[in-house]
Structure 1
Amino acid sequence: MKIFSPFYDRVLRWAAHPHAPRYLAVMSFVESIFWPVPTDVMLAPMALARPARAWRFALVATVASVLGGAVGFALGWLLFEPVVLPFVEWMGYQAKLATAKTWFDSYGIWVVLLASFSPLPYKVFTVTAGVMQMLFLPFMLVSLVGRAARFYLVAGLMRLGGARMAEKLRHYIDWLGWATVLLAVAAYLALR
C-alpha cells in the first residue's frame, strides 16, 4: 500500500515554499524547548528540494535551535516548578528527566554535546541543564557545536545525494515508512 510516497512528494513541495526557512527556524526553536518532532524531518527535505541552499538551511536550524536551547535552559533554571514540572508530567517525561539528571551527574557537560548531536531528546537536556544550574556559557558553546554538527551533517548528506538521492528515496519511501511503523510498534510493545 503506497501511502507514504504521496506524503513524501507533498513534503518536498512544502520544503520548496518561499516561507519554508521561517517555518524551519520556528520548528528548530520550539523543538529545543518542547516540540516532539525533530528538526531533521523538515531540514532534510528542504536540503533535498533546494540543494544550493542546504548550508543556509543548516545555519538557520542551528541558530534557532541553540536559541531555543537557551530558552529551555532559562525555563529549567527559573520556572521549573510552576511551568516545566507540570508540562513534564503532562507529556509523561518524568522518567526521561530523571535519566537526564543521572547522566548530568555522571558525565557533566558531555551529555549536552551527546544530546545536541544524537537522536536523544535535546529539549530534555536543555531544561535539565537549567535545573542543574549548569554554567550557561559552556552549555551554549557545547550546544552550538553539537547542533551545528548534526544539522550540517544532515544538510551535507542531502546536498551530496541531491536529485539522485531524492529519486532513490522516493522509490523506497513506502518500504521505509512501513518499516518505521513496524519498528515503532515493536519498540512500544517491548517497552510496555
Structure 2
Amino acid sequence: MLRKIYDWTLSKADHPQALWVLAFVSFIESSVFPIPPDVLMIPMIIARPSRAWRIAAVALVASVLGGLLGYAIGAFAMDTIGDPILASLGKTEAKVIFDERFNDKGFWAVLIAGMTPFPYKVITIMSGATGMNLTTFVATSILARGLRFFIVAFLLWKFGAPIREFIEKRLGLMFTLFVILLVGGVSLLKFL
C-alpha cells in the first residue's frame, strides 16, 4: 500500500497543477500522510530549476500550516485522532517518554524532526498534546522545514539531476549528522 501511495505522489510531479499538489502533500504530510514532500519536489525542481525557490517556499508554507493541524490534533483530539496516528507509526510507547520531557527539549525535537527523516508528524502531534509554546513551535518549524526544503532546492538548482541520488539516499543522513553536530556543539558550549 505504501508503494502505491509513493507512486501516486511521484506521478503528480508532472501534473499541470503540481504546485497545488505539492502544497497539499506538504500540508497533510505534517500531520497524517506517510510520504514526504521531497518526493514531489525533486522531480519538479529537476524539470524546472528556475522554479526551485518557489517550489521550496510552497513546501515550507504548506508544511508549517500542516504542522499547525498536527498541533491541533495533539491539543484537541489526541485520544480520538492523535493516538491512532501514533499507533499506526509504531510510536505509542514514545508518547509516555515525550509527555515527561518534551517541553523541556521541544525546540530541539521540532528542529530535529523537521530536518531529518524522523516523522515530523509525530512531533507536530506531540507538540500539541504536551502544550508546547505555539510561538516556539511555529518558529522552529519554519527554521527546520525551511532549512530542509531550501537546501534540497539549492542542491538541485546548483547541481541538477546528478545530485538526485545523493538527496534521495543520503541527504536524510547528512541532516541527521548536521543536527547531531549542532546539538553536540551547543551541549559543549554549556560546559565551557
Which range, TM-score by smaller chain? 0.7 to 0.9
Sequence identity percentage? 39
Please name the residue that 2:112 is paired with. 114
Q: In 2 relative to 1, CA 165–103 (structure 1 residues): closer, same or farther, beyond 3 Å?
A: same
- Contact 2:29 2:121 (C-alpha < 8 Å) held by counterparts: yes
- Contact 1:58 1:152 (C-alpha < 8 Å) held by counterparts: yes
Once residues 101 and 44 of structure 1 are traced to their aligned partners in structure 2, the CA distance between those partners, rounded to angstroms, is 35
Counterpart of 1:46 (choices 44, 64, 80) is: 44
Q: Which has the higher contact order (CA 8 A, sep 6+)?
A: 1
Count, aligned residues? 160
Q: TM-score, normalised by structure 1?
A: 0.74
Counterpart of 1:61 (choices 59, 62, 68) is: 59
Counterpart of 2:127 (choices 123, 126, 129) is: 129
- Contact 1:97 1:124 (C-alpha < 8 Å) held by counterparts: no
Give RMSD over aligned pairs. Answer: 2.5
Once residues 103 and 39 of structure 1 are traced to their aligned partners in structure 2, the CA distance between those partners, rounded to angstroms, is 29
Q: Post-superposition shift, 1:92?
A: 3.1
Indicate the SS of the match to 2:160: helix
Please name the residue that 2:147 is paired with. 149
Q: Post-superposition shift, 1:108?
A: 2.8
- Contact 1:21 1:57 (C-alpha < 8 Å) held by counterparts: yes
1:139-162 Cα offsets, whole Å, 9 max, x none, are: 101101110110000111111112
Indicate the SS of the match to 1:109: helix
Amino acid at match of 1:53: R
Once residues 102 and 40 of structure 1 are traced to their aligned partners in structure 2, the CA distance between those partners, rounded to angstroms, is 32
Q: Please say which structure displays the higher CA radius of gyration.
A: 1
1:75 equivalent to 2:68? Answer: no
Q: What stretches of structure 1 of length at least 5 have no aligned partner?
A: 1-6, 177-192
Please name the residue that 1:17 is paired with. 15
Once residues 165 and 130 of structure 1 are traced to their aligned partners in structure 2, the CA distance between those partners, rounded to angstroms, is 36
Q: What stretches of structure 2 of length at least 5 have no aligned partner?
A: 1-5, 170-192
Once residues 16 and 146 of structure 2 are traced to their aligned partners in structure 1, the CA distance between those partners, rounded to angstroms, is 23
